[in-house]
Amino acid sequence: EALAVETRLGLASIAAHGHSHPDTVAIFEAASKRPGLDRDAAASFVVWYGLWCGHHVRGEAHLAQGSAAALHAASLAHGAPANVMMGVRSLGITALMNGDAREALARHAEAEAMENIPRDRAQAQIVGQDQSVSFRSYYGLTLWLSGQGTRAWATIQDSIRLAREGGHPGSLGYGLTHAILGALGLGQREMAQTWCAELFDKASEFRLGMWRDYALRFQGLIDLAIGGGTEPLLAARQALAGRSVGLFAAYADLMAADLLLDRGALDDAAKWLARGEAALQPGHECWAAPEALRIAGRLAALQGDQAGAADLTARALARATECGLLAFALKAAVQGADLA
């Protein structure tokens, strides 16, 4: 009975406070230690889903490996196809966050073969997320980072279409947040701006505070690209940190550094690079590590250290290629050619 109460409390805490809130994490951690959890397939699935989501949203990619494996095992024990798909997806998303794009791509393809949109959409009423949307959100990001830009863009756009059709506000906020990141990565800045405006509107209409903070972060990056300042980015960064949200933090800081280098603001770029590197501490969002090396190389070149720039850029290319992050590998290869 205590386990059943804790799972209901955990899902309620997700709805009220978010996956990464300390209260949510504490509830699921307590439930994970309950005797007999492994004998209750339904409760076990919810508990490990809650723990994995908490690790993921907090940016704790290394911890997410263990909770994703447990969630996958719980999904197989449960046996329902929608749950199994979610377990497989968790492995794919976690692989991506840990910098293994090839494994991420394979797991998303495995999940795609299980997909059933009406069934997966109904998960919004169980775990608070339309799985037809969230599946495409991360599949699109995985395809982008794997160098499949055309397919990535189609998948990202499809996630937004399904989110609007489904009518679940939280899922639309989720879809828009990930779609904006993908649009920025794919050079679709105009569409990123359109979606950012929509995310602001939906966050205000439905009081989705975390999505509002993400909208502020992305709007800050869009504005920075056309001459804006960094103050809105700092405000968004602090707001998300206050929510215990670390997801995409390192990459956003690195994007800011890259944009500042475009305008020759080397000192400011160095500060944002340092923030991004700090957010890449062991166990956190390893997928952005090649970009940290490339941007450090770009900064070194602009500071006159050609040898250091070449070394850092070569390391970025090697790391991105090893991880299957071909979008980052291409950027490093182009930068290396420019330095030669």
User: What does pTM read for this prediction?
Assistant: 0.96
What does the pLDDT look like over 296-339, one tens digit per residue? 999 999 999 999 999 999 999 999 999 999 999 999 999 999 99
Query: Which residue stretches of the chain are H helix?
Result: 2-17, 22-32, 41-57, 61-78, 81-97, 101-114, 117-121, 124-127, 131-145, 149-166, 169-185, 189-205, 209-225, 231-242, 249-262, 266-279, 289-302, 306-323, 326-339
More confident residue, 321 or 284: 321
Band (pLDDT 50/70/90 cuts) for residue 284 is: confident
Q: Give per-residue pLDDT as tens, 2-22.
A: 888 999 999 899 888 889 999
Residue 187 CB neighbours (<10 A): 11
pLDDT of the residue at 213: 96
Inter-residue contact 208 to 170 (CB < 8 Å): yes
List the structure tokens of 157.
Answer: 């756009």
Q: Which amino acid is at 183?
A: A
- Under DSSP, the state recorded for 129 is S
Question: Which tokens hold the place of 132?
Answer: 């037809």
Assess whether pLDDT exceeds 90 at residue 112.
yes
Say if residue 97's pLDDT is above 80: yes
Token pair belonging to 161: 């279409």
User: In the predicted model, is pLDDT for residue 129 greater than 90?
Assistant: no
pLDDT tens-digit profile of 191-202?
A: 999 999 999 999
Rounded CA-CA distance 253/25 in Å is: 26
